[in-house]
Amino acid sequence: MGRFETRQFVALPRAGVTALESLRAGHTIEQAAERLACAEGREFDVLSFVEALMEPEFVAEVDERPVPCTPSRPASFPRIRPEHVRFALSPVFPVLFACLMVAAVATLVERPDLVPSFHNLLWSPGGSVVLALSVAAGWSLVFVHELAHFLVARATGVHARIGLGTRPQFLVAETDISGIELAPPSQPVATNLDSVVVLLILGALHAVRGVTWWRRHRAKRR
């Protein structure tokens, strides 16, 4: 259980889940303790359990009085709803990705000169221009990488947040996907793989686009 807003999540034993369900149904702490004792055959300190839940701010109110809590950090791109990006979890997506990878490999077999080399980075005699555009292109790919994490996490209902951090002294972009553990088992794996898939798709599209340009150019020369 947990709160997406505060990025706080805990794992509960079966007795804790039963007590929580009883409290959620409107029973008092004493009633929840009695029901739990009947179900498990032994007594439980439900009051201490509730007090422990107040520390990570999981309790909204006590006796209809709101419990003060730390203001939550807003999620990135809040207008993007899970239903907007549900396609990221579609089983059709891996099939399309596999077809694109096959097309990219076939393209590179036909045109091995399209395989990138370090010479592609030195596309201009102006070193400052090359450096500036390389940095811009690099951070653009970083943003696409993190955006892929964000979209798949949002598709699962996680209020993901994109930000900057350091690892350990280097400036990096990072996506907070706390709460993805509550999603079905296959979805956390998809969230970690999606960014790699997106970068591979960009590379495959570049290769396919390159051979298409080469064929058009050869046709014009003829």
129-160 pLDDT, tens per residue?
888 988 898 888 888 888 888 888 888 888 88
Residue 45 tokens read as 């300190």
Task: Judge if 53 and 124 occupy the same domain.
Answer: no
> What mean pLDDT is predicted for residues 40-54?
84
How many distinct structural domains can be found in the chain? 2
205-221 pLDDT, tens per residue?
555 555 454 445 454 54
Residue 121 resides in a domain: yes
What b/e sequence results for 185-207 when a residue is b if at least 16 CB atoms lie within 10 Å of its CB, and e otherwise? eebbebbeebbebbeebeebeeb
Mean pLDDT of the chain: 76
Instruction: Judge contact between 47 and 31, C-beta under 8 A.
Output: no
Reply yes or no on whether the pLDDT at 115 is more than 70. Answer: yes
Which residue among 20, 41, 66 closes a domain? 66
Could you list the residue range(s) of the whole structural domain that residue 15 is in?
Answer: 2-66
The pLDDT-based confidence of 35 (bands split at 50, 70, 90) is confident
Task: Judge if 118 and 25 occupy the same domain.
Answer: no
Element holding 61 (H helix, E strand): strand 61-62
Instruction: Judge contact between 149 and 175, C-beta under 8 A.
Output: yes
pTM comes to 0.60
Give the pLDDT score at 141: 82
Residue 71 resides in a domain: no
